[in-house]
Protein backbone atom coordinates (compact mmCIF):
# COMPACT_ATOMS: atom_id res chain seq x y z
CA UNK A 1 0.00 0.00 0.00
CA UNK A 2 1.94 3.00 -1.30
CA UNK A 3 -0.70 5.66 -0.50
CA UNK A 4 -0.33 8.64 -2.84
CA UNK A 5 2.53 8.62 -5.32
CA UNK A 6 3.74 11.44 -7.56
CA UNK A 7 6.13 11.59 -10.47
CA UNK A 8 8.52 13.17 -11.10
CA UNK A 9 10.05 14.35 -7.80
CA UNK A 10 12.02 17.14 -9.45
CA UNK A 11 11.73 18.87 -12.81
CA UNK A 12 13.36 21.83 -14.52
CA UNK A 13 11.62 23.37 -17.52
CA UNK A 14 12.29 26.26 -19.83
CA UNK A 15 9.64 28.91 -20.32
CA UNK A 16 7.09 27.70 -22.87
CA UNK A 17 7.75 24.00 -22.43
CA UNK A 18 4.95 21.66 -21.46
CA UNK A 19 4.82 18.80 -19.01
CA UNK A 20 2.43 16.55 -17.12
CA UNK A 21 2.67 15.76 -13.42
CA UNK A 22 1.35 12.33 -12.55
CA UNK A 23 -0.45 11.28 -9.39
CA UNK A 24 -1.87 7.93 -8.33
CA UNK A 25 -3.50 6.63 -5.16
CA UNK A 26 -4.18 3.06 -4.10
CA UNK A 27 -6.63 3.76 -1.26
CA UNK A 28 -9.78 3.60 -3.41
CA UNK A 29 -10.48 7.26 -2.64
CA UNK A 30 -13.08 9.14 -4.64
CA UNK A 31 -11.64 12.65 -4.39
CA UNK A 32 -8.25 13.83 -5.59
CA UNK A 33 -6.53 17.22 -5.50
CA UNK A 34 -3.68 19.26 -6.87
CA UNK A 35 -2.14 21.99 -4.72
CA UNK A 36 0.81 24.28 -5.17
CA UNK A 37 2.86 25.59 -2.29
CA UNK A 38 4.93 28.74 -2.45
CA UNK A 39 6.87 30.37 0.40
CA UNK A 40 4.51 32.29 2.67
CA UNK A 41 1.45 31.30 0.64
CA UNK A 42 0.47 28.02 2.20
CA UNK A 43 -1.22 25.37 0.08
CA UNK A 44 -3.36 26.74 -2.72
CA UNK A 45 -5.84 24.53 -4.50
CA UNK A 46 -5.38 24.36 -8.27
CA UNK A 47 -8.00 21.77 -9.27
CA UNK A 48 -9.82 18.96 -7.59
CA UNK A 49 -11.88 15.98 -8.66
CA UNK A 50 -14.67 15.05 -6.28
CA UNK A 51 -15.25 11.78 -8.08
CA UNK A 52 -14.20 9.94 -11.21
CA UNK A 53 -15.39 11.87 -14.25
CA UNK A 54 -15.64 15.28 -12.58
CA UNK A 55 -13.14 18.09 -12.14
CA UNK A 56 -13.51 21.55 -10.62
CA UNK A 57 -11.39 24.65 -10.45
CA UNK A 58 -9.82 25.69 -7.23
CA UNK A 59 -8.26 28.96 -6.19
CA UNK A 60 -5.49 29.20 -8.82
CA UNK A 61 -6.43 27.20 -11.97
CA UNK A 62 -5.05 29.53 -14.66
CA UNK A 63 -2.29 27.97 -16.72
CA UNK A 64 -3.17 24.40 -15.72
CA UNK A 65 -5.32 21.57 -16.99
CA UNK A 66 -6.21 18.31 -15.28
CA UNK A 67 -7.39 14.86 -16.24
CA UNK A 68 -9.00 12.31 -13.98
CA UNK A 69 -7.89 9.32 -15.96
CA UNK A 70 -9.63 6.78 -13.72
CA UNK A 71 -10.38 6.44 -10.02
CA UNK A 72 -6.70 5.97 -9.18
CA UNK A 73 -5.02 8.61 -11.34
CA UNK A 74 -5.22 12.41 -11.54
CA UNK A 75 -2.76 14.30 -13.73
CA UNK A 76 -1.86 17.98 -13.89
CA UNK A 77 -0.66 19.50 -17.15
CA UNK A 78 1.21 22.71 -17.78
CA UNK A 79 0.74 23.53 -21.47
CA UNK A 80 3.18 26.45 -21.64
CA UNK A 81 5.22 26.77 -18.47
CA UNK A 82 5.95 30.20 -17.02
CA UNK A 83 8.43 31.21 -14.28
CA UNK A 84 5.43 32.05 -12.05
CA UNK A 85 4.65 28.34 -12.02
CA UNK A 86 7.88 27.56 -10.19
CA UNK A 87 6.58 25.88 -7.05
CA UNK A 88 6.19 22.65 -5.13
CA UNK A 89 3.17 20.69 -6.30
CA UNK A 90 1.33 18.29 -4.04
CA UNK A 91 -1.29 15.76 -4.98
CA UNK A 92 -3.73 14.56 -2.34
CA UNK A 93 -6.65 12.19 -2.05
CA UNK A 94 -9.66 12.06 0.27
CA UNK A 95 -11.93 9.22 1.28
CA UNK A 96 -15.66 9.01 0.80
CA UNK A 97 -16.89 10.03 4.23
CA UNK A 98 -17.13 13.60 5.47
CA UNK A 99 -14.87 12.80 8.39
CA UNK A 100 -12.06 11.41 6.27
CA UNK A 101 -8.85 13.33 5.88
CA UNK A 102 -6.58 14.12 3.01
CA UNK A 103 -3.47 12.11 2.35
CA UNK A 104 -0.65 13.81 0.52
CA UNK A 105 1.93 12.62 -1.95
CA UNK A 106 5.63 13.47 -1.51
CA UNK A 107 5.48 16.48 -3.84
CA UNK A 108 7.06 17.58 -7.11
CA UNK A 109 9.54 20.44 -7.04
CA UNK A 110 9.23 22.31 -10.35
CA UNK A 111 11.51 25.07 -11.54
CA UNK A 112 10.70 27.06 -14.67
CA UNK A 113 13.60 29.05 -16.07
CA UNK B 1 -10.61 38.42 3.79
CA UNK B 2 -8.82 35.13 3.47
CA UNK B 3 -10.94 32.04 3.96
CA UNK B 4 -8.57 30.57 6.54
CA UNK B 5 -6.21 32.80 8.49
CA UNK B 6 -3.23 31.93 10.63
CA UNK B 7 -0.43 33.96 12.14
CA UNK B 8 2.67 33.08 10.11
CA UNK B 9 4.97 33.27 13.13
CA UNK B 10 7.53 32.15 13.91
CA UNK B 11 6.18 31.17 17.28
CA UNK B 12 9.06 30.38 19.62
CA UNK B 13 8.50 28.41 22.81
CA UNK B 14 10.97 26.79 25.22
CA UNK B 15 11.16 23.02 25.44
CA UNK B 16 8.53 21.67 27.83
CA UNK B 17 6.19 24.65 27.43
CA UNK B 18 2.73 24.74 25.87
CA UNK B 19 2.53 25.97 22.29
CA UNK B 20 -0.76 27.55 21.24
CA UNK B 21 -1.60 27.83 17.56
CA UNK B 22 -4.66 29.67 16.32
CA UNK B 23 -6.79 29.71 13.18
CA UNK B 24 -9.89 31.62 12.10
CA UNK B 25 -12.11 30.83 9.14
CA UNK B 26 -14.75 32.74 7.22
CA UNK B 27 -17.18 30.05 6.01
CA UNK B 28 -19.84 29.65 8.70
CA UNK B 29 -21.04 26.41 7.15
CA UNK B 30 -17.70 24.60 7.46
CA UNK B 31 -18.05 21.26 9.19
CA UNK B 32 -14.61 19.68 9.33
CA UNK B 33 -11.37 21.11 10.65
CA UNK B 34 -7.88 19.72 10.50
CA UNK B 35 -4.40 20.45 11.74
CA UNK B 36 -1.48 19.29 9.63
CA UNK B 37 2.21 19.35 10.49
CA UNK B 38 4.74 19.98 7.75
CA UNK B 39 8.46 19.60 8.17
CA UNK B 40 10.67 21.55 5.80
CA UNK B 41 10.84 19.87 2.40
CA UNK B 42 8.22 17.28 3.31
CA UNK B 43 4.52 16.84 2.61
CA UNK B 44 1.84 17.73 5.17
CA UNK B 45 0.77 15.03 7.61
CA UNK B 46 -2.44 15.04 9.61
CA UNK B 47 -2.10 15.35 13.38
CA UNK B 48 -5.61 16.27 14.52
CA UNK B 49 -9.15 16.50 13.17
CA UNK B 50 -12.17 18.00 14.92
CA UNK B 51 -15.80 18.20 13.86
CA UNK B 52 -17.82 19.47 16.85
CA UNK B 53 -17.50 22.32 19.32
CA UNK B 54 -15.26 21.76 22.30
CA UNK B 55 -11.93 20.09 22.91
CA UNK B 56 -10.43 16.94 21.44
CA UNK B 57 -7.31 15.49 22.99
CA UNK B 58 -4.81 13.09 21.47
CA UNK B 59 -1.64 12.57 23.47
CA UNK B 60 0.17 15.89 23.80
CA UNK B 61 -2.14 17.55 21.27
CA UNK B 62 -5.48 19.22 21.97
CA UNK B 63 -7.66 20.73 19.26
CA UNK B 64 -10.31 23.27 20.26
CA UNK B 65 -13.23 24.34 18.08
CA UNK B 66 -15.65 27.22 18.54
CA UNK B 67 -17.98 27.43 15.55
CA UNK B 68 -19.81 30.50 16.87
CA UNK B 69 -16.54 32.43 16.89
CA UNK B 70 -15.26 30.63 13.76
CA UNK B 71 -12.10 29.75 15.60
CA UNK B 72 -10.03 26.61 15.88
CA UNK B 73 -6.84 26.15 17.86
CA UNK B 74 -4.17 23.58 18.54
CA UNK B 75 -2.36 23.22 21.85
CA UNK B 76 0.85 21.24 22.08
CA UNK B 77 1.79 20.34 25.64
CA UNK B 78 5.34 19.54 26.75
CA UNK B 79 6.70 20.89 23.47
CA UNK B 80 9.74 19.07 22.08
CA UNK B 81 12.36 20.24 19.57
CA UNK B 82 10.94 17.60 17.21
CA UNK B 83 7.68 19.59 17.18
CA UNK B 84 9.46 22.39 15.33
CA UNK B 85 7.62 22.56 12.01
CA UNK B 86 4.98 24.53 10.17
CA UNK B 87 1.43 23.83 11.30
CA UNK B 88 -1.33 24.17 8.73
CA UNK B 89 -4.98 24.69 9.55
CA UNK B 90 -7.44 23.27 7.00
CA UNK B 91 -11.19 23.70 6.74
CA UNK B 92 -13.79 22.06 4.51
CA UNK B 93 -16.20 24.16 2.50
CA UNK B 94 -19.89 24.34 3.26
CA UNK B 95 -20.37 23.66 -0.44
CA UNK B 96 -19.11 20.15 -0.06
CA UNK B 97 -16.74 18.30 2.21
CA UNK B 98 -14.50 17.57 -0.72
CA UNK B 99 -13.25 21.15 -1.05
CA UNK B 100 -10.57 21.83 1.54
CA UNK B 101 -8.96 25.22 2.10
CA UNK B 102 -5.65 25.67 3.91
CA UNK B 103 -4.27 28.54 5.90
CA UNK B 104 -0.77 29.81 5.20
CA UNK B 105 0.61 28.00 8.23
CA UNK B 106 2.33 28.95 11.49
CA UNK B 107 5.98 28.16 11.92
CA UNK B 108 6.73 26.78 15.38
CA UNK B 109 10.22 26.76 16.86
CA UNK B 110 10.81 24.85 20.08
CA UNK B 111 13.97 26.05 21.76
CA UNK B 112 15.95 23.38 23.69
Express each pLDDT in B62-92 by its tens digit.
999 999 999 999 999 999 999 999 999 999 8
- Asked whether residue B98 carries a pLDDT value surpassing 80, the answer given is no
Q: In chain B, positions 67-86, which contact chain A (CB-CB < 8 Å)?
A: none
The reply to whether A107 touches chain B by the CB within 8 Å rule is yes
Overall size of chain A counted in residues: 113
- Asked whether residue A95 carries a pLDDT value surpassing 90, the answer given is no
Q: Give the DSSP per-residue string, B34-87.
A: EEEEE-TTS--EEEEEE-SSEEEEETTEEEEEETTTTEEEEEESS--GGG-EEE
Least confident of A39-43, A80-84, B4-8: A39-43
Average of per-residue pLDDT across A39-61: 89
Q: Within 13 Å, how many C-alpha atoms sit on residue A13's CB side?
A: 25
B33 in Cβ contact with B87 (< 8 Å): no
Which pLDDT score is estimated for A36? 96
Mutate to test the interface with A, among B7, B9, B10, B43 (most CBs of A within 10 A): B43
Which pLDDT score is estimated for A1? 64
Express each pLDDT in A60-71 by its tens digit.
999 999 999 899
- Shortest CA gap A104–chain B (Å): 6
Interface A:B, Cβ pairs < 8 A: 55
Amino acid sequence: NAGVTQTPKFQVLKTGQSMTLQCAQDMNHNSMYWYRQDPGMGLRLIYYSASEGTTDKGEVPNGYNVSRLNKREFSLRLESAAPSQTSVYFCASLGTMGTDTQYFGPGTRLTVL
Amino acid sequence: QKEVEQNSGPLSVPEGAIASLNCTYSDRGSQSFFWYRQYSGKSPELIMSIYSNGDKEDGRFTAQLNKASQYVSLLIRDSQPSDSATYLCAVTSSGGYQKVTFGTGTKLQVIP
